[in-house]
A and B are shown apart, each in its own frame.
Chain A
Amino acid sequence: MDKVFLQAFREVVREQVLRKNEVRLDGLGSFRFEHRNQFQKQYDDGRVVMMPPRDTITFIPE
């Protein structure tokens, strides 16, 4: 695998996932876009914080 291909792979997967498209790698699984809502979280010392929302990528194996 050469570098040009890997670079293209990174970019294509990232762009398609950002467009909420599902990228399938046959026999392996698929990449999906996932949005995580903000949520409250309590630290061990008792402080309660609001964790920010975030967008992330998930891989669902076949």
Chain B
Amino acid sequence: MKIDREQLALLLAERSGLDEEEVRSQLDTLMDRIRNAANEGKSFEIEEFGTFRMEEGELRFEPSRTLRTELNQKYAGMKPIELIGAYKEQHTEEDAPQDEEDVMTAGASPVEGSPSKNFELDTGQAAKASSGGEASPGDSDDAGEDESSRRSRIRKRAAKARREAAQRSGEEYGGPEEKLAAKKQVAADHKPEKKEEAGAASAPAAGKQATGSREKRHVKSSREKRSRDSLGRIAAAMVIVIAVAAAGLVAWNAGLFDSAGLDTGESVQAPAQPDDRPSLAQDEQAADTEEEEGGTSEEQTGNEIAGQTEQSGGEDVSTGEGETPSSGYGLEGELNASLSSYYTIVVHSLADSDAAESRADNLRQQGYRVTVRTATIGGTQYWRVGLGQFSGVSEAQEAADGLPEPYGSNHFIRNIQ
């Protein structure tokens, strides 16, 4: 829709609260001023709106920053995004003049040195490069040679640019296609270099220059390698740091530092909670392996456990009985349902309730006080088989240390409320 002068005047009157006559005259004044300023070659600025100025016989308008921001609400805050894969090398000009010299001298010096050889070589090159059109001797031959050298120069420059781009983008950012392309280019590069070498063989001076430039190239590439090495060193250091951190975490989860934590008493409750998940995963694995071992070995270990508990049972019972009458806590005996909050040593955590129950029964027969609780972790329900009821973490830990293997080393302590 077009807003003409009439509509604009109406809208302005509505917005400003002035009457239409006033608005019209104001609008005329504004336009006259813009026109006058333009005719005098001055710029006319409306604050927070923009600037009108005369350029090349035309009135131009440059919106102010405020107006631009207000109009660009939809894309506010969008900034240029770097496209890493699309890295292109532009600056080949620094190297290009050297190449030019190389090619020119390589092409020019044989003319002075050995004309007959040069003639044969050049006709060969010209035939290759310019499809044999100017294979006749003399001036036209020189022209053909010039053209071929120019072509090879252009080709070489393009190939070099591509090669350098591939070195940076292809290897650092690692696109497989780019690498392939880089390889192809390198293969293609050998052809012009061979030509160059043919020229260099006939002109040793030019050959020296060419090798000189090649050495420069080597220096450049080694510099690039060095910068890449430092990057690699940083990466290696980071990997080592991460590995150390991971090892520390694993050690912490495995309970190496638990004894240190226990001294603090009550505050242990907090670290005991995050302990839960990782050790549970270990327990799950342990449970799986137990199942894989099969029934017979389980029976054996069961017997062993029974024997060990008989041996260590005496001590445990004595300490346990010392506690039991006063508090109702303990590792063995019947489950005390009257306790509202206690700690238990979780020794099995299984996704199969039957397996959990059978293990719980097995442990009950061995005289343990067994609790079976459910817990939902990551959407899967687990049945946790716990041993004993304890008033605190330190008591539970003490009792857990006295448990026979595999429970002695593979358990976690859980607060139940």
Contact = CB atoms under 8 A, between A and B. Distances in A.
Whether both chains belong to one complex is answered with: yes
Interface of B: 1-5, 8, 11-12, 15-18, 22-23, 26-27, 29-31, 33-35, 46-50, 52, 58-61, 63, 67-68, 70-75, 78-83, 86-91, 165
Given A46-B88, A50-B80, A57-B67, A21 B15 contact: no
Given A5-B16, A59-B60, A49 B29 contact: no
Contacts of B11: 12, 16
A17 B388 CA distance: 77
A11 B72 CA distance: 15
A50 B30 contact: no
B16 A48 contact: no
List of 4 A-B pairs having minimum Cβ-Cβ separation, nearest first: A59-B61, A52-B78, A8-B16, A8-B15
Contacts of B52: 59
- Interface SS, A side: mixed
B90 A53 contact: no
Interface in A11-36: 11-14, 16-31, 33
Interface of A: 1-2, 4-14, 16-31, 33, 40-42, 44-59, 61
23 contacts: A8-B15, A8-B16, A9-B27, A9-B30, A9-B46, A10-B48, A11-B15, A12-B12, A17-B71, A24-B4, A45-B91, A48-B87, A49-B82, A50-B80, A50-B82, A52-B75, A52-B80, A52-B81, A53-B75, A53-B78, A54-B75, A55-B72, A59-B52
B334 to A, nearest CB: 72
Contacts of B61: 29, 31, 57-59
A55 B46 CA distance: 20
A59 B59 CA distance: 9
A39 B233 CA distance: 37
Given A5-B12, A49-B80, 13 more contacts: A2-B26, A10-B67, A12-B15, A14-B71, A21-B2, A24-B8, A26-B5, A29-B59, A40-B86, A42-B90, A54-B75, A55-B72, A59-B61
B17 A4 contact: yes
B74 A55 contact: yes
B82 A28 contact: no
A25 to B, nearest CB: 6
Given A21-B2, A54-B72, A28 B63 contact: no
Nearest to A31: B61
A22 B63 contact: no
Contact of B31 (A7, A16, A28, A48): A28
B90 to A, nearest CB: 5
A49 B86 CA distance: 9
Contact of B23 (A5, A44, A48, A56): A5
Contacts of A19: 1
B290 to A, nearest CB: 56
A13 B49 contact: yes
Given A14-B67, A46-B88, A61 B58 contact: yes
